[in-house]
Amino acid sequence: MTTEVNTAQVRSAVPPAVASGVNSSTRSNGAPLMISSVDGAYVTDSDGKRYLDYHAAFGAILLGHKAPQVDRAVIDAIHNEPDLTGWGTSRLETQLAESLVAALPSVEQVTTVTTGSEAVAYALRIARASTDRRLIIKIQGGFHGWSDSVARNVISAPDRVYQMDPLSAGILPEALEATLVAEWNDIESMRELFVRHPEQIAAVIVEPIPHNVGALLPEPGYLEQLRKLTLEHGTMLILDEVITGFRHALGGYQELSGVAADLTTFGKSLGNGYAVAGVGGSAAVMSAVDPAAGGKVAIMGTFNGNPVACAAGIATIDYLRSHPEFYTRTHALGSRARTGLQGVFDDAGVAASVQGFGGTFTTYFLPARATGYRDLLANDAAASRAFHRGMVERGFLMLPIPMKRMHISGAFTEADIDATVEAAADVVSQLVAQGQLPLR
């Protein structure tokens, strides 16, 4: 017996001109299928349903959707600045660079690009050129964009952890093999790789908080030990602050930790929804991209430093600098959310740990706090999907992919958080009754 499929109906469910229906692989997560408008802390889908936006475009929305101060700056740039020249430099490029240098503790010079993936690809190129070495170390679970060098061992299944686990087909094996994998918060796993590959490691790249797998906070002293280890071996430390940068502090997480990187990558929330990113470091390190100083690293991009992106970045930084209470407020809201949600799970006897930092949080369906990827192997993925899907159905946009983080923008209120906790209690009660959540 065969089942006939109505091809016309299937095709009508997906925008026919868009390959796979979405322009980025992780955007296909069921309803809502299409977002039609945004405002502040909320998005509205094409059916008119309104959602409190915890997804925040994977964290790119920091101040809130359509933040007036950012949009005004962009509109002014459209009317009064060059559209795109591709020759020399411009006023806004210089102003953004000066703002970034003033904000980021370890940065003296920057190069502005369009996406975080580009920023990481260039940072790795600078590190390899500067050290004349080929190997890179990343951590299991860390995500640093789509470039071949780091597209391995992201959300790995138990049988692929620490083994060769490509993020995509079509990558040359030798590119993946030049990247080694260590465990987060385990300095010995990192040290072992240096012993096995002496004088071969160009850089260690880490998210100072691995937000790609939720929120694994660095244990006390871990980042300091990592900085010491890289200095001992003449290896560059790259702090990938594409997510943590500007979200947790104006100077990124390195401002809070006091650990200085050789190279810093940043992006996402810098433009509050507009495409701007970059890489920066000391003048000596960044001389690698300056032909006049003998640098041989080529950084090229028609849209690098474009005026709309630069205007958005300048306006975002200016707002954060003039409103330091932004961090006090979003950190307090994050704490309120984590405490409230943990209480919901505890009251229901659910084995769950709500973790996060600042205005972020994630729920691991584990009986205890997670400190590394090894702990996350026991996370109940089905429970995670069920909980987040239940929250989406009630109007709270939480990406239904296990271990993903939620973001609180500057447009959120205490009432938003309290409504979230109240809805979560309803979802948890229903899922416990259905046997879909693990109990303690």
What is the secondary structure of 89-121 as a DSSP string? --HHHHHHHHHHHHH-TT-SEEEEES-HHHHHH
The verdict on 126 and 264 lying in the same domain is yes
Q: At what angle do helices 68-80 and 307-322 cross, to 10 degrees?
A: 140
| 201 and 114 together in one domain | yes
> Which region among 27-31, 240-244, 339-343, 387-391 has the lowest average model confidence (pLDDT)?
27-31
Residue 294: C-alpha distances to residues 16, 101, 111, 121, 122 (Å): 49, 22, 17, 21, 17
Average pLDDT, whole number, for the chain? Answer: 94
Residue 12 predicted with pLDDT over 70: no
Nearest to 110 by CA among 303, 321, 312, 290: 290
Q: Do 160 and 277 share a structural domain?
A: yes
* Domain final residue pick, 290, 322, 354: 322
Q: Are 403 and 155 contacting, i.e. CB atoms less than 8 angstroms apart?
A: yes
Over 60: is that where the pLDDT of 15 sits?
no
Residues 261 and 138 in one domain: yes
Q: For residue 18, what pLDDT band results from cuts at 50, 70 and 90?
A: confident
Where among 300, 322, 344 does a domain terminate? Answer: 322
65, 210, 416 from 53: Cα distances, Å: 9, 21, 10
Tell whether 34 is covered by a domain.
Answer: yes
pTM metric for this prediction = 0.93
What residue numbers bound the domain in which 30 lies? 7-60+324-433
The confidence score (pLDDT) of residue 16 equals 72
Structural domain contains residue 366: yes
Domain end position, chosen among 272, 305, 322 = 322
Lowest mean pLDDT among 14-28, 61-75, 231-245, 372-386: 14-28
One domain for residues 312 and 345: no
Residue 51 has pLDDT above 80, yes or no: yes
pLDDT band for position 281 (cuts 50, 70, 90): very high
185, part of any domain: yes
Q: Is the pLDDT reported for residue 8 higher than 80?
A: no
Tell whether 438 is covered by a domain. no
Residue type, 238: I
Number of domains present in the structure of the chain: 2
For 296-329, the three-class secondary structure string (H helix, E strand, C coil) is: CCCCCCCCCCCHHHHHHHHHHHHHHHHCCHHHHH
Q: Is the pLDDT of residue 169 over 90?
A: yes
Same-domain check for residues 426 and 318: no
